[in-house]
Structure 1
Amino acid sequence: MAKADDMLQTFDELISDGVRRGLVHNTAEDDRLDGRMITLGGAPTVNFGSCSYLGLETHPALKAAVVDAVERFGTQFSSSRAYLSAPTYPVAEEALSDLLGRPTLLTPSTTMGHLATMPTLISGDDVLLLDYQVHNSVQTAAKLAQAQGTRVELIPHSDLRTLRRRIGELRHTHRRIWYAVDGLYSMYADFAPFEALNELMAEQEQLWLYVDDAHSFSWTGWHGRGRALEALSPLALSRSVVAGSLNKSFAAAGGALSFPDAESRRRVFTLGGPLIFSGPVQPPMVGAVLASVELHRTAEVAQRQERLLHLIRHFNHLAAEHGLPLVSRSEAPIRCIGAGQPGVAYNLTARLRAAGYFTDVASAPAVPAKRSGVRITITAHHTEDDIAGLVDTLADALPRALAEEGENVTNLRRAFHRQLSPMYAVPALNAA
């Protein structure tokens, strides 16, 4: 097994390669932002790297709420919530609880929410099974639970056969068996297998779920509740913690940790480390939270959700027509085009940048190095022409990037053989 220092050195080399190529650690050069375009190297570029999927960060109601909150409460409220909360904090938590239909805590970030919740609710009598691709923030919080005596294991991605087997082996020696997943995985954009999990939870009374639903919050689900709160059965939700992000599609700040009962929420609020020793979401962004909650109750957000879904389907359709190696066929705003080796992913991203499209690189440590790709995020700011231009450029650039990096289609398909179906046979690459 690789030592931690060796792994850090490998990741440093991979990321530093991206820095040298000018493809990571970038800064937008604009004086004002409209959500769609950014300036890089003096050139206007369509931004396909934003996680504000509904495009609400420029909405007049949210901007006005931030200005109002600054005028009323100042730029910050510098107190631990263990002692004192800003006036609008409990109002925001009540609004979020009503929106999500569950007792909810507003935390400074989703990561801080995990750090507060997991070590508090998952005890030394429990076992925590982590999906191999669950978000780094969950894995970090799991280490705190592990330090307190919780047994922690990694299991293969979305492998419910292994999960079922481990439940059978652990059920007599542990109180609860927690399974931690992402509602929507942030790189390859596949959803957790909620239907199968509902069935398994009905069978296994000791099974509990911990769901990081950060990337599906707001842009999908009734009033933006996300995928997990929509797809999990009432029984499954009675044994689930679901975390949403207010810092992505919700266009505000913080994390929303929702609990199956008021006592779990009380316990985390009382004992969760970051809620005792860290600062809160600051008043300007609490104002944005409240405005976003109200907006999510309106038809406008439902219309934006429909428009975003239309753009996602448009991308999927064009990608299939061009035979692009789309890693997941889900209808999610995150789209990943497989590239294989990191060098190919960087090369392809550079070609997209030169053509006027900013995208992210999906590479280690976020994904296995040999299964790197180009991570594209679609937002309601985009147009159909933006999508079409990006896909055309991808179809032209991918075979060139493979050839320039000394790679080929066979290796790419081999790297993603579990994800790529026959419909993504990459005919465009065969012609290269």
Structure 2
Amino acid sequence: MTGVFRITSQNPPAAAPVYRLATSVHDREGTHMAKADDMLQALDELISDGVRRGLVHNTAEDERLDGRLITVGGAPMVNFGSCSYLGLETHPALKAGVIDAVERFGTQFSSSRAYLSSPGYPIVEDALAQLFGRPTILAPSTSMGHLAAMPVVIGGDDVLLLDHQVHHSVQTAAKLVQAQGTRVDLLPHSDLRTLRRRLEELGGSHRRVWYALDGLYSMYADFAPFAAINELMAEFGQLWLYVDDAHSFSWTGHHGRGRALGELSALALSRSVVAGSLNKSFAAAGGALTFPDAEMRRLVFAVGGPLIFSGPVQPPMLGAVLASVRLHRTPEVAARQDVLLERIRLFNRLAAEHGLPVVSRSEAPIRCIGAGGPQVAYNLTARLRAAGYFTDVATAPAVPSKRSGSRITITAHHGAADVLGIVEALADALPRALAEEGENVTTLRRAFHRQLQRAA
């Protein structure tokens, strides 16, 4: 079906599992938290339903990968589920970097960095620091980096304010911060008026007020309002930022520095820790933690728990990181960024022409199509896969279950025909999925009212 997305059918509801999870772990405003075991059971029911439908816990069945196609359940599909946004995972330079590192250093260097780092580490971290323009630590993953850094840089006399939708890995690390006596509170998503009010309330009694946020939110793909945050940073000297910019690194910004390092003012960056992933668009491994000064970097490296007790990034992927850094300093990456942006803009234009409920109209490679309840999101995703497009389900615990959707990621591997094809498949599949599950566009738009209002 082509043309404008409209829903007129309101078939009676088909039999579907009843999820007792009313909200996700992110959706806590004005609600009473269920007991931990109840939450786990509800999440297990929801995810197990996805497993039964064959839509989660999948495994690629290919003997070789080209970045564009993936085989699941014996069916080849165009892969719209990859976070390797620039498509560098198949680049000859990165493959060569891995091979060279393996031949020189082997597959493993089994030592805690507290005792001994493998030969590639100093070279890689220096290259990352030059690329990002700040002192940098390479952690085994972005999540491990948060666990190492946040309890060290955020002290007992500070306050930590978490954006309501900040990544789960940051919320997990915040529990360690809270356990050491720091006050931790939630703020409504990207609500800077509330942040200002809290700064006025807390600034006089605390050394620093930290605001933890994402540079690009990984499900709905809205960007942090950095221009307004710069103004707050200039007004409130006690405001510090902890930014998870995992999904912005590489595909955007000068030499792939991402959104936060590119848009925060010099003053704001002097009071900010910015972390990003090298597992996604960088097509390598690990998480990069960047700091405003060398002393903060030194302290986190010296006493950050996971950096003492956990294993390092291994030599093959250190080779990939170094090769990717070098590639990001060439015109080729800028050209790939331009191609990716063209594909994103094409998707946004076509989706608007079809009237699709794209949760955020940002120019980010993550595109989320609102579906409503998880059963509709599962139905929609199954239909897209049947049409030859592999996409992910966006549902709890990553988003509130009542605001589930189909999460599509655009990469440089996709051509214009791929983008056109998936938009037409969405326009056909969404009304069918809603009707089959006994829902309609009115309830969908009601569930996503705030998000779609911002996207308009």
Instruction: Give the TM-score of the pair, scaled to structure 2.
Output: 0.92
1:92 and 2:105 correspond: no
Q: Give the structure 2 partner of residue 69 of structure 1.
A: 101
Q: Give the structure 2 partner of residue 122 of structure 1.
A: 154
- Identify the match of residue 309 of structure 1 among 341, 350, 360: 341
Per-residue deviation, residues 64-102 of structure 1 (Å, max 9, x unmatched): 110110010000100000000000101100000000000
In structure 1, C-alpha distance between the alignment counterparts of 2:203 and 2:439, rounded to whole Å: 47
Q: Give the structure 2 partner of residue 282 of structure 1.
A: 314
Q: Which has the higher contact order (CA 8 A, sep 6+)?
A: 2
1:262 and 2:294 correspond: yes
Q: Output the amino acid matched with 2:68.
A: R
- Identify the match of residue 221 of structure 1 among 253, 268, 290: 253
Give the secondary structure class of the aligned counterpart of 1:420: helix
- Matched residue count: 424
- Identify the match of residue 403 of structure 2 among 371, 374, 381: 371
Q: Give the structure 1 partner of residue 55 of structure 2.
A: 23
In structure 1, C-alpha distance between the alignment counterparts of 2:454 and 2:320, rounded to whole Å: 45
Aligned in 2, Cα 1:31/1:236: closer, same or farther, shift over 3 Å? same
Sequence identity of aligned pairs in percent?
82
Give the secondary structure class of the aligned counterpart of 1:112: helix
1:352 and 2:384 correspond: yes
- Identify the match of residue 162 of structure 1 among 194, 213, 219: 194
- Identify the match of residue 343 of structure 1 among 375, 400, 411: 375
Per-residue deviation, residues 284-323 of structure 1 (Å, max 9, x unmatched): 0000000000000000000000000000000000000000
In structure 2, C-alpha distance between the alignment counterparts of 1:423 and 1:130, rounded to whole Å: 23
Per-residue deviation, residues 247-288 of structure 1 (Å, max 9, x unmatched): 000000000000000000000000000110001000000000
- Identify the match of residue 426 of structure 2 among 384, 394, 398: 394
In structure 2, C-alpha distance between the alignment counterparts of 1:220 and 1:308, rounded to whole Å: 10
Q: Give the structure 2 partner of residue 152 of structure 1.
A: 184
- Identify the match of residue 332 of structure 1 among 349, 364, 373: 364
- Which consecutive residues of structure 2, in runs of 5 or more, have no partner in the other structure? 1-31
Give the secondary structure class of the aligned counterpart of 2:195: helix
- Aligned-residue offset at 1:419: 1.6
In structure 1, C-alpha distance between the alignment counterparts of 2:153 and 2:76, rounded to whole Å: 48
Q: Give the structure 2 partner of residue 411 of structure 1.
A: 443
Per-residue deviation, residues 132-180 of structure 1 (Å, max 9, x unmatched): 0000000000101111111101110000011111111111221100000
Give the secondary structure class of the aligned counterpart of 1:330: coil
- Which consecutive residues of structure 1, in runs of 5 or more, have no partner in the other structure? 425-432
In structure 2, C-alpha distance between the alignment counterparts of 1:374 and 1:29, rounded to whole Å: 22
Contact 1:184–1:190 under 8 Å retained in 2: yes
Q: Output the amino acid matched with 2:259.
A: R
Q: Give the structure 2 partner of residue 429 of structure 1.
A: none
Give the secondary structure class of the aligned counterpart of 2:450: coil
Q: Root-mean-square deviation (CA), in Å?
A: 0.9
Contact 2:230–2:268 under 8 Å retained in 1: yes
Aligned in 2, Cα 1:91/1:423: closer, same or farther, shift over 3 Å? closer
- Identify the match of residue 132 of structure 1 among 159, 164, 169: 164
Q: Output the amino acid matched with 1:326.
A: V
Q: Give the structure 1 partner of residue 16 of structure 2.
A: none
- Identify the match of residue 109 of structure 1 among 141, 144, 167: 141
In structure 1, C-alpha distance between the alignment counterparts of 2:418 and 2:385, rounded to whole Å: 14
Q: Give the structure 2 partner of residue 56 of structure 1.
A: 88
Per-residue deviation, residues 190-227 of structure 1 (Å, max 9, x unmatched): 00010000000100000000000000000000000000
In structure 1, C-alpha distance between the alignment counterparts of 2:183 and 2:451, rounded to whole Å: 31
Q: Give the structure 2 partner of residue 420 of structure 1.
A: 452
- Aligned-residue offset at 1:237: 0.2
Give the secondary structure class of the aligned counterpart of 1:244: strand
Contact 1:323–1:423 under 8 Å retained in 2: no
Contact 1:320–1:423 under 8 Å retained in 2: no
1:174-185 paired onto structure 2 within 5 Å: 174-185=206-217
Q: Give the structure 2 partner of residue 190 of structure 1.
A: 222
Q: Give the structure 1 partner of residue 274 of structure 2.
A: 242
In structure 2, C-alpha distance between the alignment counterparts of 1:165 and 1:15, rounded to whole Å: 38
- Identify the match of residue 64 of structure 2 among 32, 49, 59: 32
Contact 1:194–1:232 under 8 Å retained in 2: yes
In structure 2, C-alpha distance between the alignment counterparts of 1:47 and 1:62, rounded to whole Å: 21
Q: Give the structure 2 partner of residue 427 of structure 1.
A: none
Aligned in 2, Cα 1:151/1:380: closer, same or farther, shift over 3 Å? same
Give the secondary structure class of the aligned counterpart of 2:370: strand
- Aligned-residue offset at 1:421: 3.9
Contact 2:359–2:455 under 8 Å retained in 1: no
Contact 2:360–2:454 under 8 Å retained in 1: no
Per-residue deviation, residues 384-415 of structure 1 (Å, max 9, x unmatched): 10010100010011000000001011100101
Give the secondary structure class of the aligned counterpart of 1:419: helix
- Aligned-residue offset at 1:423: 8.5
